[in-house]
Amino acid sequence: MAKDWFVIHTYSGYENKVKMNLEKRVESMNMEEKIFRVLVPMEDEVEFKNGKEKVTKRKVYPGYVLVEMEMTDDSWYVVRNTPGVTGFVGTGTKPIPLLDQEVIQILQQMGMDDLRAKIDFEVNQTVQVIAGPFKDFVGVVREILPDKGKLRVEVSMFGRETPVELDFGQVQKLD
């Protein structure tokens, strides 16, 4: 089963409390194999008061917390019944995972270039381009650049193999 990032809705102002409660529940209910990380996206905010620069952390998405997890009935139940959680973000009752590109952007914004956790591409793997100028092209991964969040993919253009550099979120694996 694949692990994905999901967004949970909380009472505003309770984001850090929900993070703490959920982390305690994961430990006490032995869910470490299904629920991996809980994040409250923060960014630095610079204020000038009395001529002095002051850096504070502010919540990027007040009322929301990110959870990296494998979605099963058990893991859904643990998260959903954590005090302060009002629900998952999704359609109806079905939580929808964030796209890899969305996760990468949020982690980069927070200064957490923890991209390796989301790389599930391999060299020589066939992928389809799903966004950008090469959309709908099929290519082969030739190099993975985790520090840049990019892949070098060889696509066939005008009858010859052409290397292009693409963001992780611009391609998807072909099964």
pLDDT digit string, tens, across residues 47-89:
777 777 788 888 888 999 999 999 999 999 999 999 999 999 9
Measured distance CA(49)–CA(47) in Å, rounded: 6
* pLDDT of res. 147: 65
* pLDDT of res. 119: 64
pTM here is 0.62
Which is higher by pLDDT, 30 or 117?
30
With CA atoms as reference, report the closest residue to 148 among 169, 131, 132, 127.
Answer: 169
Q: Which domains does the chain have, with CATH numbers?
A: 3-118 (3.30.70.940), 126-173 (2.30.30.30)
> pLDDT digits over 84-141, tens only?
999 999 877 789 999 887 887 887 777 665 544 456 778 899 999 888 888 999 999 9
- Cβ contact 12:105 at 8 Å: no
Measured distance CA(87)–CA(142) in Å, rounded: 41
Which is higher by pLDDT, 156 or 54?
156
* pLDDT of res. 18: 96
Query: Average pLDDT, stretch 19-43?
Result: 92
- Cβ contact 25:82 at 8 Å: yes
* pLDDT of res. 117: 44
* pLDDT of res. 175: 66
Measured distance CA(156)–CA(140) in Å, rounded: 9
* pLDDT of res. 102: 85
> pLDDT digits over 17-26, tens only?
999 999 999 9
Measured distance CA(130)–CA(99) in Å, rounded: 12
Structure tokens at 13: 């102002």
Measured distance CA(71)–CA(49) in Å, rounded: 45
- Read off the amino acid at residue 63: G
Query: Average pLDDT, stretch 144-152?
Result: 78
Measured distance CA(94)–CA(90) in Å, rounded: 6
* pLDDT of res. 35: 92
